[in-house]
Amino acid sequence: MQEFLLPAIKTAMQAAAITTEKPVQLEKPADKKNGDYSTNIALLLSKECRRNPKDLAAELIERMTFPEGTVEKITVAGPGFINFYLEPSFIMQSVEHVLVEGKGYGSSCTGKGRNAIVEYVSANPTGPLTIGRGRGGVLGDCIANLLETQGYAVTREYYFNDAGRQMQILGESVRYRYLERCGKGGKFPDTHYQGDYIRDIAETLFAEHGSALVDSTDLGVFKDSAEAIIFSSIRKTLERIDIRHDSFFNEHTLYTVRENGKSANDEVLELLNSKGFIGRYDGATWFLTTKLGQEKDKVLVKSSGEPSYRLPDIAYHLDKYRRKFDLIVNVFGADHIDEYPDVVEALRILGHDTSKMRVAINQFVTTTVNGETVKMSTRKGNADLLDELIDDVGADATRLFFIMRGKDSHLNFDIELAKKQSKDNPVFYLQYAHARICSLLRMAAEETGFKPDGTGRHLMQELTSEPEVQLGFALLDYPEMIRSAVRLLEPQKMVEYLHSIAELYHKFYQECPILKAEPEICTARLFLSLATRQVLQNGFRILGISAPESM
């Protein structure tokens, strides 16, 4: 849309004999009064040119030329901004691109031929998914969707561990409940998983085996069935909000010894050792991060001989690099904030390009009930479950709720509000705009025989009223909005944008009669509605919310 403005400004600068290192910036003023586009170049250059910014701006404007019918006027405003006002017919004519490109509108091919991996959720199968995990899950899924619009081939991966101490405790927890069920229970330890789901698993085992397992000393059956049941419940929950993974990576495989006699973990130790970053003291093996200016070294292998979580983490990311991804995105909760810098450092030491790796950290979700903050813990069984949230507010609202805030903000989730919000929920505002358009188009097909096949599309140029042009102009912003969301790994940008589109449409709908207008204007307004629906649909697909045809 604004592509032709930059060259015109640069040409004007050359004509005025101005050379500078400073980039020319175009921005969209918040207030329409200040034009459709604006540049601050005269303000930036006034010092090095030793000229009054307003005079400089006036001279630049003198020297600019544009194709006929594109720019309506240019003004100098405020301290020296140059403001561009576009011809409404030029804007409305450009809206045709939305319809021409259809589902592909907003896509680009900047990532074409490149592979990306997005890792998210990655919860170990020790219990049902909590609300907190849901935030990272939706964030990761939307980031993956965003990357796909840019042409990336995206692998969605889930990293989990079904071995180790936590799973041991899980197995024991189930056994305690099972023994209770058989009437032989002792006191249930505070250190174990107390959620009701443990009882359910024990009940399932009891239904299958009766009391036959009472004397079993093998924890395996308890652990394995718990893992299977919990993992399947996690996946079911994720599916309810349309989150699916292509690939499940088991941390355990990093421990298994391969044909060359080494595990992936061993290999990382060797590699880091060869670079001089491994030390042994206090009976443990350390990553010598003090050499990198950190306060302490980090344990990689405990004195017991077991690796700490850091070692497989590094091995896992090394594996991602070896799988030849061009872009590696990790979506973590804030509790991992201290860990990823070590992984990055290790990979850098091993000679990998760490600029390929990006980390999206989402701050915690705090849940409040009756204004009181509830502390969550899977172990204590008082965690707020994602499944229950979906039951209460539905899949669309659940998804939207998690991404309508910036990932760096703590998300305050008022459970009661969410429950009674079924009607006031922000998701309905967006969906209502879509349903309204669908209804309108149905009616148009019946009453006027309108067909969305492109005939008469050019009539949009005839629309000149403020609500129409503002809506059209906003629709043209969509591709840039996506690029910005991708750059920042921040789908929240999309939510705000779509909200503004819905708002502009409702305003247009209110002020401009459509079916009752003159035939040509009617057709033009129907095409504008169609373009709006296209942008809403494309945006909804990225956010993973449904586009209802009626409400």
Q: Which of residues 72-131 bind RNA (CB under 7 A)?
A: 77-79, 81, 83, 124
Task: Check binding of 51 to RNA (CB under 7 A).
Answer: no
Task: Check binding of 519 to RNA (CB under 7 A).
Answer: no
Applying CB under 7 A, among 104, 189, 513, 519 the residue interacting with RNA is: 513
* Residue placing its CB nearer to RNA in the complex, 206 or 340: 340
- Shortest gap between Cβ of 74 and RNA (angstroms)? 12
Six-digit token string for 373 = 């903050």
What is the rounded CA–CA span in Å between residue 116 and residue 318? 15
* Residue placing its CB nearer to RNA in the complex, 79 or 189: 79
The DSSP call for residue 460 is G
* Residue placing its CB nearer to RNA in the complex, 274 or 303: 303
Task: Check binding of 232 to RNA (CB under 7 A).
Answer: no
Task: Check binding of 289 to RNA (CB under 7 A).
Answer: no
Residue numbers 446-465 binding RNA by CB under 7 A: none
Applying CB under 7 A, among 506, 521, 537, 541 the residue interacting with RNA is: 506
Task: Check binding of 512 to RNA (CB under 7 A).
Answer: yes
What is the rounded CA–CA span in Å between residue 8 and residue 4? 7
Residue numbers 384-413 binding RNA by CB under 7 A: 404-406, 408-412
- Which residues lie across from 27 on neighbouring strands? 38
Number of residues in contact with RNA under rule CB under 7 A: 86
Give the dihedral sign, CA 96/100/105/107: negative
Applying CB under 7 A, among 438, 456, 541, 546 the residue interacting with RNA is: 438
What is the rounded CA–CA span in Å between residue 70 and residue 85? 9
Only one of the segments 26-34, 226-234, 345-353, 537-545 lies at the binding site for RNA (rule: CB under 7 A); that segment is 26-34
For the chain, the first-to-last Cα distance in angstroms comes to 34
Applying CB under 7 A, among 3, 259, 338, 446 the residue interacting with RNA is: 338
* Residue placing its CB nearer to RNA in the complex, 7 or 283: 283
Task: Check binding of 440 to RNA (CB under 7 A).
Answer: yes
Sheet holding 115-119, edge to edge: 247-250, 153-160, 115-119, 327-333, 357-362
What is the rounded CA–CA span in Å between residue 462 and residue 139? 41
The number of CA neighbours under 13 Å toward the Cβ of 274 is 7
- Shortest gap between Cβ of 362 and RNA (angstroms)? 9
Residue numbers 3-22 binding RNA by CB under 7 A: none
Task: Check binding of 283 to RNA (CB under 7 A).
Answer: yes
Instruction: Look at residues 387, 389, 408 and name the one whose alpha carbon lies nearest to residue 397.
Output: 389
Only one of the segments 205-213, 222-230, 314-322, 500-508 lies at the binding site for RNA (rule: CB under 7 A); that segment is 500-508
Task: Check binding of 499 to RNA (CB under 7 A).
Answer: yes
- Shortest gap between Cβ of 197 and RNA (angstroms)? 19
Residue numbers 356-385 binding RNA by CB under 7 A: 361, 363-364, 366
* Residue placing its CB nearer to RNA in the complex, 202 or 441: 441
CB 290 within 8 A of CB 297: yes
Q: Where are the alpha helices (DSSP H) in 241-324?
A: 264-274, 310-322
- Shortest gap between Cβ of 257 and RNA (angstroms)? 19
- Shortest gap between Cβ of 44 and RNA (angstroms)? 5
Residue 280 CB neighbour total at 10 angstroms: 10
- Which residues lie across from 156 on neighbouring strands? 118
Six-digit token string for 445 = 């097909």
What is the rounded CA–CA span in Å between residue 295 and residue 341? 13
The number of CA neighbours under 13 Å toward the Cβ of 550 is 5
| Run of H or E including 439 | helix 426-448
φ, ψ of residue 74 to 5 degrees: the values are -130, 135
Task: Check binding of 295 to RNA (CB under 7 A).
Answer: yes
* Residue placing its CB nearer to RNA in the complex, 67 or 305: 305
Residue numbers 156-195 binding RNA by CB under 7 A: 161, 164-166
